[in-house]
Amino acid sequence: MFTIEIIGVWLAVLLTFSIFSYLYDDNPFYKAAEHLFVGVSAGYVAAISFWQQVQPNLFGRLWPQIDPQTELSIFGKAWYFIYDVFGWITSLFGILERGVFPKGGIEGHSDIRIIYVIPFILGIFMLLRLFPKVGWLARWAIAYIVGMASGLRLYAYLNSNVIEQIKASGVDFSADWFTIINKIIILVGTIAGLMYFFFSKEHKGVVGKISRIGIYFLMISFGAHFGFTVMGRISLLIGRIYDLIKFSVAQYYNATFWIMGIMIIILAIWAFKKDKQKQPEVV
């Protein structure tokens, strides 16, 4: 019986082998899987971002749910009239259910926060990039994001990655010998590494020698990074192969063997045809 679970398993096996098939050569299986991955990821992120952030935290603050007994001011009535218009449009003029703008406001917040009109407008500006004539308005939104992000990151980065790390580079001579030696190595490595990136003076003499030591430290660091990267990639391969072994049993109708066999045959035919097309015509 082909249940949803079995179909999911067959699809997972097919997509895994499609991606692995790139190791042989760029082929239609790989291309299809790649396009599917990009499309599904983009669609999922867009949908979840809207329902997790834009709808509850932006629209929810602009039009929070109100008690039906509450008497609204003229401004309030006008404000919720706009909301109802949005609700009417997004429900395809009343045909569908009002999901984005439910009747009576959005649950979660209590007061109208009119200041959130600014991010709402900036968000619309961002979408205007799609229209060349007014696309320049998107720069305002981007400028806000860049300014906000750099301001937000500056302090945190300075504190955690610069000041705290400089403090950690100091050598505490009251500690045990192993710690002192370790700290001296870190201090020498930090200074030598920084010297390598100091370009205001030519790397000759003492500066050249220190920056040379810096290169050795950097090489060790790159080596460690490479080793960890290899380990990470092998772990991911183990994960996929573990699943392929799991899905090769009769419970899943031997999905791994069937798909692998069919793909090998199709790829062989594809490679054969490709080679034939490549051969120059004999005059």
Partner 1 sequence: MNKFLDLFIKLGSVDRRIIFVLIAVSVTVPLIVSVDKDVRITANSQAVFDTVQELPVNSKVLISFEYGPSTKPEIHPMSLGLVEHIFRNGHKICATALWPDGNFMSTETFNTIAPKLNKKYGIDYVNLGYKPGAEAVIKGIASDIATLYTKDLKDNVLGAIPMMKDIKNINDFDLVISLSAGFPGTMEWVQFACDPNDIPMCSGCTSVQVTEVLPYIENGQVNGVLAGMPGAAEYEQLIREEFTDMDRSSAMALKGMPAQSIAHIVIVLAIALGNITYFIQKNRKK
107 in helix, strand or coil? Answer: coil
**Number of chain positions touching partner 1 (CB under 8 A):** 45
Q: Is 251 in the site for partner 1 (CB under 8 A)?
A: no
Among 8, 44, 131, 269, binds partner 1 (CB under 8 A): 44
Q: Which of 250, 248, 272 is nearest to 260 (CA)?
A: 248
In the beta sheet, which residues pair with residue 106? 64
User: Amino acid letter at 56?
Assistant: P
Minimum distance from CB of 43 to partner 1 (Å)? 11
Minimum distance from CB of 229 to partner 1 (Å)? 5
Q: Is 5 in the site for partner 1 (CB under 8 A)?
A: no
Q: Which of residues 159-198 bind partner 1 (CB under 8 A)?
A: 159-161, 164-165, 167-168, 186
Among 11, 245, 265, 271, binds partner 1 (CB under 8 A): 245
Kindly tell me which of 56 and 203 has the beta carbon lying closer to partner 1. 56
| Burial of 43 from C-beta contacts in 10 A (0-12 / 13-18 / 19+) | exposed
Minimum distance from CB of 66 to partner 1 (Å)? 15
Handedness of CA 130, 133, 138, 143 (dihedral sign): positive
Whether 27 contacts 19, CB under 8 Å: no
Q: Which of residues 103-162 bind partner 1 (CB under 8 A)?
A: 107-109, 149, 152-153, 156-157, 159-161
How far apart are alpha carbons 91 and 94 in whole angstroms?
5
